[in-house]
């Protein structure tokens, strides 16, 4: 049976909310447009509004121009030349305005790869605040959210995926990842709705 809800008890003062890449880059009419983002935005807003001072937003920062990056990232940015900083308006990397208004007190962590744990000070920031539990929301379920979740698991955090506050541009892989989070990673990843999370976080 898939594991639903908070299997490991209530959420406490050692919990933070990690909101992944809710940016104009994905909400706007770009090649990376994520249609579901508009649908989940009010749910994400509700979660952020409950604890703005315990929220950290990540932003995916594109390469400056095609051909930048190491290894496969060089090829990646050649393929997505239209999504480099040189081709996009500066505001494309900004958080969606209805979320940006919460920062500060919410914090912002920039990253240049899928994972927020690589080449960033995210782990150090969380450790400085004695955070051992993360509620994860944002985009996309099967790309940057996945990288955030697995990195957090590797670092020993308790991870709660907010199932109605994540989104993808692919229904098929979104659904597949929800099944994966519940079934395959059920020992270390909990899947719960924002309503359940808000009720349990004290």
- Classify residue 4: in a domain, yes or no: no
- Give the domain CATH number at 144: 3.40.50.850
- Classify residue 61: in a domain, yes or no: yes
- Classify residue 37: in a domain, yes or no: yes
Give the ranges where 80-130 is alpha helix by DSSP (H). Answer: 97-100, 122-128
Question: Tens digits of per-residue pLDDT, 37-68?
Answer: 999 999 999 999 999 999 999 999 999 999 88
Question: pLDDT value at position 1?
Answer: 41
- Classify residue 10: in a domain, yes or no: no
- Classify residue 5: in a domain, yes or no: no
- Classify residue 109: in a domain, yes or no: yes
Alpha-carbon span 84 to 89, nearest angstrom: 10
Question: Tens digits of per-residue pLDDT, 77-121?
Answer: 999 999 999 999 999 999 999 999 999 999 999 999 999 999 899
Angle, CA of 67, 112 and 193, to the nearest 5°: 135
Average pLDDT, the chain: 93
Residue 174 and residue 167 in contact, taking contact as beta carbons nearer than 8 Å: yes
Question: pLDDT value at position 117?
Answer: 98
Residue 142 has pLDDT above 60, yes or no: yes
Query: What strand order describes the sheet that includes 133-139?
Result: 107-111, 55-60, 15-20, 133-139, 158-167, 189-192
**What pTM was estimated for this model as a whole?**
0.94
Number of domains in the chain: 1
Which range is least confidently modeled, 50-54, 125-129, 144-148, 167-171?
Answer: 167-171
- Classify residue 116: in a domain, yes or no: yes
Which domain range does residue 147 map to? 15-200
Question: pLDDT value at position 182?
Answer: 83
Alpha-carbon span 175 to 158, nearest angstrom: 22
CA 30 to chain centre: 19
3-class DSSP state of 59: strand
């Amino acid at each position: 049976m898939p594991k639903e809800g908070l299997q490991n008890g209530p959420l406490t003062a050692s919990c933070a909310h990690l909101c992944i890449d809710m940016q104009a880059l994905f909400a706007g009419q770009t090649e990376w447009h994520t249609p579901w983002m508009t649908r989940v935005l009010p749910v994400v807003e509700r979660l952020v509004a409950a604890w703005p001072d315990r929220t950290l937003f990540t932003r995916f920062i594109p390469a400056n121009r095609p051909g930048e990056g190491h290894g496969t990232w060089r090829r990646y940015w050649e393929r997505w030349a239209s999504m480099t900083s040189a081709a996009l308006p500066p505001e494309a990397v900004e958080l969606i305005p209805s979320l940006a208004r919460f920062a500060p007190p919410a914090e912002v962590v920039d990253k240049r790869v899928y994972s927020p744990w690589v080449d960033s000070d995210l782990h150090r920031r969380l450790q400085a605040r004695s955070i051992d539990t993360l509620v994860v929301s944002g985009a996309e379920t099967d790309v940057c959210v996945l990288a955030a979740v697995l990195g957090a698991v590797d670092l020993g955090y308790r991870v709660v995926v907010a199932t109605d506050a994540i989104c993808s541009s692919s229904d098929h892989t979104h659904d597949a990842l929800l099944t994966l989070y519940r079934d395959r990673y059920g020992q270390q990843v909990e899947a719960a709705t924002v309503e359940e999370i808000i009720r349990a976080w004290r």
